[in-house]
Amino acid sequence: MKPLDVIAIGRAGVDLYGEQVGGRLEDMASFAKYVGGSPTNTAIGMARLGLRAGLITRVGGDHMGRFIREELVREGVDTRGVRSDPARLTALVLLGIRENGTYPLIFYRQDCADMALCEADVDAALIAQAGAVLLSGTHFSTPQTAVASRRAAQLMRAQGGRVVLDVDYRPVLWDLAP
């Protein structure tokens, strides 16, 4: 049996949810802070369900990056693949909650740390310790992150493990939304 069941790869950020449910983002007076990014949230969810989960991503060498790393450790997620990027900030998302299930949001992801993930960040020895790798569709939106994701998939397939794709399609993160 491998030490890790799965390693998720991709987005990591901080979600700031407006605490005035139903209000417009323009009217928010306070926000609550949570870990964000679907691969990061999925790794946490898998750990909560008892799987041995790891994460490969980058966070900024900033307060929010440290927050994410500390939360991952608290949740039992293996953080050996989480790199601190001293040149980039951790991504942020401002969100609201409306009664009809919509979530108005604004992404602050320009040149953020997780989108600087590169092939060198994918450690073959770490991948070898897992039975599966979970890729995020968003990390196919730029050439550099796509190469990193493909490398993880190739390494996993070469050892006979499973490769899972979470489409995680967000047009705004592909520069396709108006």
Flag whether 97 is in a domain.
no
Total domains in the chain come to: 1
Instruction: Report pTM.
Output: 0.92
Q: Give the integer Cα–Cα distance in Å for 71 and 61.
A: 15
Flag whether 178 is in a domain.
no
Flag whether 82 is in a domain.
yes
Flag whether 170 is in a domain.
no
How confident is the model over 33-53, as pLDDT tens digits? 999 999 999 999 999 999 999
Measured in whole angstroms, how far is the alpha carbon of residue 143 from the centre of its chain? Answer: 17
Confidence of residue 173 (pLDDT cuts 50, 70, 90): low
Measured in whole angstroms, how far is the alpha carbon of residue 32 from the centre of its chain? Answer: 19
How confident is the model over 64-121, as pLDDT tens digits? 999 999 999 999 999 999 999 999 999 999 988 877 767 788 888 889 999 999 999 9
How confident is the model over 140-161, as pLDDT tens digits? 888 999 999 999 999 999 999 9
Flag whether 130 is in a domain.
yes
Give the domain range for residue 115: 6-13+37-90+111-163
Flag whether 53 is in a domain.
yes
Q: What is the CATH number of the domain that holds 141?
A: 3.40.1190.20
Confidence of residue 29 (pLDDT cuts 50, 70, 90): very high
